[in-house]
Amino acid sequence: MKTVVPVISAIVLALALIPASAASKHKRHTHAVTAPQQQIACTVVGCMPVPRGCHPEMGYTPWGTPTGFDVAACPNYTLYGFRR
């Protein structure tokens, strides 16, 4: 009986330590990359998202007067109005 108690306690202790050692393995968690928030241009035709690669700028009439609305300024063209 005296030898059974230490053997049983050793087995219980070993079983208690197995899940702790299994949980300590390094796990790689991938973090979702969030996209940058899209810009909005409030143009003559309403507020619209600005296309990728463009940015909102102040809009002007063909004669250079500010309109109070935005235009989407892209590298080679302008959407929804004129810019200087």
Report which of residues 69 and 23 the model is more confident about.
69
- Is 75 within the bounds of a domain? yes
- Is 63 within the bounds of a domain? yes
Q: Total structural domains in the chain?
A: 1
- Is 24 within the bounds of a domain? no
- Is 11 within the bounds of a domain? no
Q: Measured between alpha carbons, how far is residue 78 from residues 30, 32, 38, 58, 82 in Å?
A: 39, 33, 18, 11, 7
* pLDDT number for residue 19: 59
Residue with tokens 């049983």: 8
Beta-bridged to residue 82, according to DSSP, are 60
Per-residue pLDDT tens over the stretch 44-82: 899 999 999 999 999 999 999 999 999 999 999 998 888
- Is 54 within the bounds of a domain? yes
The whole model's pTM is what?
Answer: 0.54
Domain that holds residue 56: 40-79
Helix extents (H) in 24-78: none
- Is 29 within the bounds of a domain? no
- Is 20 within the bounds of a domain? no
- Is 56 within the bounds of a domain? yes
